[in-house]
Each structure stands twice: as structure tokens, then as C-alpha cells.
């Protein structure tokens, strides 16, 4: 699994080969702050909803601080996905990339 900083992810998201974004937080967290265009599947639902994700795309996986997303990345890799874990999660993204994003 690759662990990338918010700066690395932000730059990669601007490229033509940008990954899809999977947010594994709960809906109430997603409502507070999320990355535009992300897909919300809470970690507890990931196994049941795995078929909703396209294996032909690379996925940037996001949570609050990077721990749930790391667990999701391990699971996704074991199931044939190419993944990147956002180090520090949406919290670090808000602090380093999007200063208008709400923190919680």
C-alpha cells in the first residue's frame, strides 16, 4: 500500500490519470467535510458494497486521520484493487490543502 501526503495526492488528482476517491468515514463525517467527487462507503459497509467499486481504476482512500482508510486499503489490496492511503486523512488535507474545509 502506498501512503501519500495531501500535497502528493492533490498533485496527482490534477493529472489525467487521477484516481477515484473513496471516503470510508460515516455519513455524518462526510457531511461536515469531504473531497469533491468522492464516493462514500463507510468502512463497516465496505465488504458488502465492494462490487460497487471498479477494479480497473486506482483508488485514493480517505478517512478522518488515515487509520480507517489504511484498514480499507489493506482489504482492497487483498481484493485486487490498486490503492493509495491519504496520510493524515481529511483532517491533514484541510490543514495543508483546503483551508476553507471544516475541521472536526
pLDDT tens for residues 29-50?
Answer: 999 999 999 999 999 999 999 9
Residues 53-95: pLDDT tens digits? 999 999 999 999 999 999 999 999 999 999 999 999 999 999 9
Residues 14-28: pLDDT tens digits? 999 999 999 999 999
The C-alpha torsion from 27 through 25 and 90 to 86, rounded to 10°, is -150
Query: Which of 104, 62, 52 is closest to 87 using CA atoms?
Result: 62
Query: Does the predicted TM-score (pTM) go above 0.95?
Result: yes
Name, in order, each residue with C-beta under 8 angstroms of 48's C-beta and a sequence gap of 6 or more: none
Give the span between the Cα atoms of 67 and 16, in whole angstroms: 28
Per-residue pLDDT, 70:
98
Per-residue pLDDT, 58:
98
Q: Reduced to 3 states, what is the DSSP secondary structure of residue 53? A: coil
Q: Which domains does the chain have, with CATH numbers?
A: 2-96 (3.40.250.10)
Contact 66, 87 (CB under 8 A): yes
Amino acid at each position: 500500500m502506498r501512503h501519500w501526503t495531501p500535497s502528493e495526492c492533490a498533485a496527482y488528482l490534477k493529472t489525467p490519470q487521477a484516481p477515484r476517491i473513496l471516503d470510508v468515514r460515516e455519513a455524518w463525517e462526510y457531511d461536515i467535510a469531504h473531497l469533491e467527487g468522492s464516493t462514500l462507503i463507510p468502512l463497516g459497509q465496505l465488504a458488502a458494497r465492494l462490487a460497487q467499486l471498479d477494479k480497473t481504476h486506482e483508488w485514493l482512500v480517505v478517512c478522518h486521520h488515515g487509520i480507517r482508510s489504511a484498514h480499507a486499503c489493506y482489504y482492497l489490496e487483498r481484493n485486487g484493487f490498486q490503492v493509495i492511503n491519504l496520510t493524515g486523512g481529511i483532517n491533514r488535507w484541510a490543514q495543508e490543502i483546503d483551508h476553507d474545509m471544516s475541521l472536526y
